[in-house]
Structure 1
Amino acid sequence: MTTHSLHSKPRVAVCALSVQTTSDKTRLMPAGTFHAPRGAAEGTGPWHLTSEAAQAIIRLAAGRSTDIALDYEHQTLYAEINGKPAPASGWLDPRSLEWRDDGLYGSITWTAAASAAIDANEYRYLSPVFPYDANGVPLDLLHLALTNTPAIDEGAAQLAAARMAITHDVNDDAQEIDTVKREQLIQTLGLAASATDEQIDTAIAALKAAKADADAFRTALGAKDDAKPSEAVAALKASSAAAPADMSQYVPVEVYQEATQQLAALKSGSETAELDALIKEGLDDGRIPGQKTADWLRTKGIAACKAHLEGAPSIAALKSTQTQGKPPEGAEVKGDGKLTETELAVCKSMGISPEKYREANPVPAA
């Protein structure tokens, strides 16, 4: 991992090749080894464009959000120096780049004026501007120009290098412009002297994350963007002091817990009383056939009791007001434990088996 600045001499070059267009694409850079154009003030070559290097340029171009500009005579580089406009001669679709055996190709949309000038043989050469590494391998395609004199001077080359460093994530040793001493960086990050590149990258990522958190903290507090963390904390304390909590809206936790317990006790007592009333009502009108069933429903709770009473018919023969808990007249109590027709009707209405019913309501002793 290396860190860069813009202070040392840039490695930016131009080359020239005839405007060579197939039916769909134009050759932008030649394949293999090629040299600087005669008269170029920056970049003497030779340069070497391989398939691998071209694929790296294609990947970089695919990440661009705008088309790559073509101008006349590299005026894009000189506009900031001479103040003259830099009209486009065409636009290159960065996602159209393609490697072929004889070089790097792409789809250019020429302006009407440029197309006419090419047809009239007023411009003959296409001149790409590109950064390159210490081995002469092109690293990117910055922009291109229609030209008859493809050389650029030192000032324009430095401007191109500056733009390249600003708009690209330079992280390759071959693209290094000015390397900060590794030892100094490690010391600044508070790492061990033997820290690896991965550990350095992780520490830098942590610093970026901490900065993002601090920015979000300042924004939430309404502090200035350049406010120090201590100033942001002071702003938080000041806002808290300016708007103290209204204690009349709160109660001690002991009071809250006591009230909760009392409510729970009241609810339990109320449900118990309601369950007792339901069971008594069921015994009175015959929907609960006996005390065993009543005790069983009591263990199931109020919801189960309500469900039973809603589905069970009122059986007059079992009402305590008529029989006082004794078998109804005419109903034979079988000593063998079998259920009467009335008891079978109760089982059917309650959805229980005769065995479960007899278990809950045993035959009275003789």
Structure 2
Amino acid sequence: MIISRTTSSLAALSASRPEHPVAVCALAVSAGDDKTRLIPAGQFDAPRGSMRGGGPWRLDEAQARQIIQQAANRNTDLVVDYEHQTLLSETNGQPAPAAGWVAPQSLEWRTDGLYGRIQWTAAAKASITPGPEGEPPEYRYLSPVFPYDAETGAVQDLLHLSLTNNPAISDGDAVLAAARRASATSEQEESTVKREELIKALGLKADATDEQIDGAIAALKAKAADADSVRQTLSLKDDDKPSEAVAALKSKAEAQPAVAEPDPAKYVPKAVYDEAVAALSAAQVGENQEMDRLIDEGLKDGRIAGKATADWLKKQGLAALKAHLEDAPSLAALKGGTQTAGKAPQDNGDEQAGELSEQELAVCKSMGISPEDYRKANPADGQ
């Protein structure tokens, strides 16, 4: 066995060891490109003096097939380190550089044991290769670390391997490897349980994907944010119950002043307003047309002296235009003839050059303007 009871610290570790203790053994190592035997077949033991307790261990084809199947489910390669530093790094604080890697897919059962292809680093390959003149290599042994059944010695798995010249490791290191494996298994089981509980709490199907779980969590966060916003709006406390929140909302709504019905004396329906606007627009068009007709008649019969007078009258509106046409005399001279019917005007001595005629004065009177303003508006008429 690899479990020691010599110190209290190791006893604490052994108390948490998994069902299958962990062992190491020594195998010859080479730098060849072919596969290397990682665990021997049949019953085997550590060389005398190479480790304390433990064996014998056993590996048959069925057990090897199980190890190969377990390795196929892994996403990472098996590490080969130096002097089991992977186990020791947590206690001595030293790094654990890799000497090589074993791809899980390369594991293979042969009649004499479990084999795998090791991809060595350049430094490790140099350390296991003999020198050019027969100098011995720096490392001679490959030491696998594996859990096994305490009663039968059956090998259960392959954890990692190490280059070493002293394949026996301390009991505490073996227990540490076992504790690490037990912890990883426990964490994986706990993670699985937590995932199942999370899926159930979210109301998802048992086979929900990570994307579906993330989406459900995001939806819950959004609802929580909305709830917080409502609480802040209603000035609620975090421990207020939903029923209290509803009551507060109703109370706030009842406190708001009721919207008064519009006063019919001040407001009319939009349809009525639109209809009135349309009628006014039509009336305006009709008024403009009527003014154009009256101005045209006034220009023809001489009641409107000229364009300037017509434009001015149009600005005064329809009522002013009609009043002017009613009072203004028809000026024959503006119909195409002359006031003297082609005769030379008689000089009666009363009118002076530039003074308005009686008809023009009549226009001024009807329009309510002075003769001077009329002459300014109609310079040609006053000459």
Task: Give the TM-score normalised by structure 2.
Answer: 0.46
Higher CA-based Rg? 2
